[in-house]
Amino acid sequence: MTTPVDNRSESDYSGKVRAISERLRSWSGPIVLATHIDPDGDAVGSTLALSRALQALGRATTVSLTPPRFLAFLTAPGELVPQLETLAPGTLLIALDAGAASRVAGVPLGDAALTINIDHHGTNERFGDIHLVDPSKAATAQIVKDIVEQLGLAWTPELATPCLLGILTDTGFLRFGNTRPAVLRAAAELLASGLDYAELTDRLQWRPQSYYPLLAQVMATVEFPLGGEVALARVTESMREDLSEEILDSEDFIGVIRYAEGIRVAVLLKEQGDTTKVSVRTRGGVSAQAICLMLGGGGHVPAAGATIAAAIDIARERVLTAVRKELDQTDRRGSPEPRR
């Protein structure tokens, strides 16, 4: 008998972790894990950690995921498949770090016998049969850590490294406001597995030599619109040599301009054919989430994103309109919103 999972209650976090762990332990069919498009460190880390944990329990798992080049070093040969066209009958699908069904990459969601949605985005649409969504967690990997421990597994470097990666990347290497005491405790416990921390943090920041001239070109586009309250930069297709290969961490450029003095909002526009990928970072009570929801995207209060079906110049205007609205609303509210 498995414990029924009550999706109505968001508050019973431990109960849900227990119930999901039981489901995972007792599932006899195939298990497929997937995450969001343009996977980041938390996407790759939480997915690999949970897959490796289930394998340690003797389960056969398949991970459908194409990692960006800067994270490929974490994966073992044959550990990932880029895409699954169909799922075998009786497949359990676990979606990690994906706020919406439409953002889950590389799997036909409708084929799954059961879908479990594990995430920390406040904007999560609560898709799937069972969802464990906790926006108070800094990373989906932090939720996966609780599941791995509920499964009774001991931390090995193979399990702990991807889990710590997810926590490190979603907290800006333990610098962002989501770095709460529980996050540091979780990181310390993962570090105690004996994983090679210097190697992990060093490798995470390796970039191909072609990245550095690209950085120079992107920084040459920086502008400070809306009276200097916004830093905005662009990555255009003509700057990128190989459009087929995703080499970068989405923090790479916005992580530089977000620290321009006097700004409250940083925006990176990335040209992708007729569409534009938007990344937004905010401070001082301004909500990147509110800005990106206006643009059809989502995310967290200090960091959010959207994909706009328009060319980069039109997208720039739409983004600035949304930013202006949110700045006005923030000023009318007066006091900063709690950060999530």
Name the residues that contact Mn ion, by CB under 5 A. Answer: 40, 42-43, 97, 140, 170
Distance of CA 325 to the CA centre of its chain: 26
Lookup result for tokens 């996977």 = 39
CB of 83 to ligand AMP, least distance (A): 20
CB of 38 to Mn ion, least distance (A): 8
31 versus 43: smaller Cβ distance to Mn ion? 43
C-alpha 60/C-alpha 32 separation (Å) is: 9
C-alpha 293/C-alpha 302 separation (Å) is: 13
Q: 157-170 and 41-56 helices cross at what angle (nearest 10)?
A: 160
159 versus 319: smaller Cβ distance to ligand AMP? 319
Which of Mn ion, ligand AMP, none is residue 271 near (CB under 5 to 8 Å by kind)? none
CB of 153 to ligand AMP, least distance (A): 27
64: left (phi over 0), alpha (psi -120 to 50) or beta: beta
Lookup result for tokens 């109505």 = 8
C-alpha 141/C-alpha 158 separation (Å) is: 14
- Measured from each CB, the residue nearest to ligand AMP is 305
CB of 1 to ligand AMP, least distance (A): 36
163 versus 269: smaller Cβ distance to ligand AMP? 269
Which of ligand AMP, Mn ion, none is residue 96 near (CB under 5 to 8 Å by kind)? none
Token digits of residue 201? 């943090």
46 versus 287: smaller Cβ distance to Mn ion? 46
Q: Which residues contact ligand AMP by CB under 6 A?
A: 36, 40, 99, 103, 250, 279, 297-300, 303-307
CB of 313 to ligand AMP, least distance (A): 20
30 versus 99: smaller Cβ distance to ligand AMP? 99
C-alpha 160/C-alpha 35 separation (Å) is: 19
C-alpha 266/C-alpha 258 separation (Å) is: 5
